[in-house]
């Protein structure tokens, strides 16, 4: 079977030349060109090169700028510009300037609205007079607005995240204090009561045999211990009092006891204290990274390095465990890693995570210090 030709023979493009079919373009008359000019979607006009007066303006021009065609024809092109730009515009389009060009600048509409436009112009003869055909693209304005709105949205989102983190910290402190002060006191009262009953040798205290009384005792002790851990994890009060490294040393001790994952800490931090927001951010990031190691890495060892000077606080948390594919993580619903990144970002820092299946996970964080603020209170907490 013969293949079907791409262009049916009777519809082949006509050849140009004497005796051959006339090319279709030649058949377009002046009136049709005018229609095409008028219907172009971009504001388009023709300017007298010598005077820069409008000699033609299309429908998109009248629609975008609000001037009627007659009004355009009574104006010069620089009238569309801000008065302070008019001189520059004349030079740019004048007879001694290059005859074609492209530029982004501002126009004024009839209602005095200032719009950013992208103009392209080329020389054309018009009624045998040197003229300029100029096409104006207003899309960049829309694009710019979109970019501005995106930036604005990003700014608002960032402010919201910052506020959420602040609220979360305040709420955690409040709950930690409540747990410690209120429930902790009650449990301590209960413990004292049990102990004093035992001391007084009240046989059958609470009407229970000795073994069960001992169990009550140990449950109360366990409760007090767990409550303290919970409250400390929520907001270790020593972070404010003794700083990051001693708090972490304390935290690692409890972490290892709970998870059986050993932590090796290496640090060189000078000065010893950092702004509260930097310390709490560092603590929270390490806390989440270590929780992940215990939950997902399947290893009993994690290395933590902390280096700090007057410019930044740098953290490295590394395990040689299971690892994972970070690209797949983005599609999951977990908030831990994203939360770490956001916390670093909120104080102007950044976090990079490298991980690969069976090769372990490495998290590097840089938290810059506000200039001259090491050791002092820099950011709001
Ligand atoms: N150190 C690690 N080793 C192995 N896999 C990890 C490690 N850290 C994170 N992951 C993987 O990345 C995923 C996302 O971690 P992320 O901390 O964001 O969430 P999560 O721990 O699952 O839940 P949560 O929101 O409670 O933190 C985990 O589910 C886990 O599969
Ligand atoms: Mg997690």
> Ligand 1 centre from 124 Cα, in Å?
65
Q: What confidence category does residue 178 fall into, taking pLDDT thresholds of 50, 70 and 90?
A: confident
Residue 206 has pLDDT above 90, yes or no: no
Q: Closest Cα to residue 370, out of 346, 340, 348?
A: 348
- Number of Cβ within 10 Å of residue 212's Cβ equals 12
What separation in Å is there between the alpha carbon of 288 and the centre of ligand 2? 6
Q: Is 319 in the pocket of ligand 1 (CB under 6 A)?
A: yes
Establish whether domains 23-138 and 242-381 are of one fold. no
For all residues of the chain together, what is the average pLDDT?
A: 83
- Cβ atoms of residues 180 and 231 within 8 Å: yes
At 4 the pLDDT is 38
Residues with CB under 5 A from ligand 2 (ion): 292, 336
The structure's pTM equals 0.59
Asked whether 252 lines ligand 1 (CB < 6 A), one says: no
Quickly tell me which residue has 């959420």 as its tokens: 164
Q: How many CB atoms lie within 10 A of CB 57?
A: 25
The class of domain 242-381 in CATH terms is: alpha beta
**Contact (Cβ atoms closer than 8 angstroms) between residue 282 and residue 367:** yes
Contact (Cβ atoms closer than 8 angstroms) between residue 279 and residue 266: no
The residue with greater pLDDT, 77 or 171, is: 77
Q: Which of the 8 DSSP states describes residue 53?
A: B
Crossing angle of the two packed helices 210-234 and 184-199, in degrees rounded to 10: 160
Domain boundaries along the sequence of the chain:
23-138, 142-235, 242-381
User: Does position 179 have pLDDT exceeding 60, yes or no?
Assistant: yes
* Beta-carbon count within 10 A of 46 CB: 21
| Of 120, 103, 99, residue with least CA distance to 43 | 120
The pLDDT confidence band at residue 180, using thresholds 50, 70 and 90, is: confident
Q: Which residue, among 240, 316, 228, 237, has the nearest Cα to 273 in the 3D structure?
A: 240
At residue 3 the predicted structure's pLDDT band, cuts being 50, 70 and 90, is: very low
Residue 140 confidence (pLDDT): 57
- Statement: residue 173 has pLDDT above 50: yes
CA 52 distance to own-chain centroid: 46
293 lines ligand 1 (CB under 6 A): yes
Closest ligand 1 atom to Cα of 291: 21
Percent of the chain residues topping a pLDDT of 70: 83
What atom of ligand 1 comes closest to residue 324's alpha carbon? 5
DSSP state of 27: G
- Lowest average pLDDT, out of 3-7, 110-114, 176-180, 319-323, goes to 3-7
Which is more confident, 230 or 141? 230
Question: Before 80, cis peptide (omega within 30)?
Answer: no
pLDDT at 2: 42
Q: CA angle 365-366-369, nearest 5°?
A: 145
Ligand nearest to the CA of 363: 1
The one-character DSSP state at 297 is I
The CATH class that applies to domain 23-138 reads: alpha beta
Could you tell me the pLDDT band of residue 58, with boundaries at 50, 70 and 90?
very high
Q: Determine the atom of ligand 1 nearest the C-alpha atom of 321.
A: 3
> Would you give the distance in Å from CA 235 to the centre of its chain?
27
pLDDT digits (tens, 9 = 90+) for 94-152: 777 777 888 888 899 999 988 888 888 998 888 888 899 999 987 556 666 767 777 78
Q: Is 322 in the pocket of ligand 1 (CB under 6 A)?
A: yes
Write down the residue that tokens 């040197």 correspond to.
Answer: 130
- Residues 86, 78: Cα–Cα separation, whole Å: 5
Surface-to-core class of residue 198, CB atoms within 10 Å of its CB (0-12 exposed, 13-18 middle, 19+ buried) = middle
Contact 1, 8 (CB under 8 A): no
pLDDT tens column, 296-346: 999 999 999 999 998 999 999 999 999 998 877 655 567 889 889 889 988
Any residues with CB less than 8 A from the CB of 368 and at least 6 apart, and which?
Answer: 311, 312, 347, 348, 349
């Amino acid at each position: 079977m013969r293949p079907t030709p791409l262009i049916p023979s009777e519809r082949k493009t006509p050849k140009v030349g004497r005796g051959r079919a006339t090319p279709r373009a030649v058949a377009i008359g002046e009136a049709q060109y005018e229609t095409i000019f008028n219907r172009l979607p971009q504001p388009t006009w023709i300017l007298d090169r010598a005077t820069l007066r409008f000699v033609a303006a299309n429908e998109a021009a009248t629609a975008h700028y609000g001037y009627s065609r007659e009004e355009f024809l009574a104006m010069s092109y620089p009238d569309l510009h801000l008065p302070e730009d008019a001189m520059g515009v004349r030079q740019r389009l004048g007879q001694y300037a290059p005859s074609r060009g492209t530029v982004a600048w501002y126009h004024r509409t009839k209602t005095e609205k200032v719009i950013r436009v992208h103009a392209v112009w080329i020389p054309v003869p018009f009624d045998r007079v040197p003229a300029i055909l100029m096409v104006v693209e207003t899309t960049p304005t829309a694009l710019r607005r979109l970019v501005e709105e995106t930036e604005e949205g990003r700014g608002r989102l960032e402010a919201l995240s910052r506020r959420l983190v602040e609220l979360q910290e305040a709420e955690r402190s409040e709950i930690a204090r409540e747990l410690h002060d209120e429930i902790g006191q009650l449990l301590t009262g209960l413990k004292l009561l049990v102990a004093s009953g035992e001391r007084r040798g009240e046989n059958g205290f609470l009407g229970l045999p000795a073994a069960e009384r001992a169990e009550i005792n140990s449950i109360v002790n366990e409760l007090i211990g767990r409550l303290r851990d919970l409250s400390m994890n929520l907001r270790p009060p020593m972070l404010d009092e003794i700083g990051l490294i001693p708090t972490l040393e304390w935290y690692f001790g409890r972490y290892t006891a709970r998870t059986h994952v050993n932590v090796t800490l290496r640090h060189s931090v000078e000065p010893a204290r950092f702004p509260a927001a930097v310390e709490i951010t560092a603590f929270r990031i390490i806390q989440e990274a270590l929780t992940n190691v215990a939950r997902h890495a399947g290893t009993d060892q994690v290395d933590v390095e902390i280096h700090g000077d007057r410019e930044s606080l740098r953290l490295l948390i590394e395990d040689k465990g299971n690892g994972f594919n970070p690209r797949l993580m983005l599609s999951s619903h977990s908030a831990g890693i994203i939360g770490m990144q956001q916390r670093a970002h909120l104080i102007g820092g950044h976090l990079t995570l490298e991980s690969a299946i069976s090769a372990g996970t490495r998290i590097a964080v840089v938290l810059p210090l506000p200039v001259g603020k090491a050791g002092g209170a820099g950011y709001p907490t």
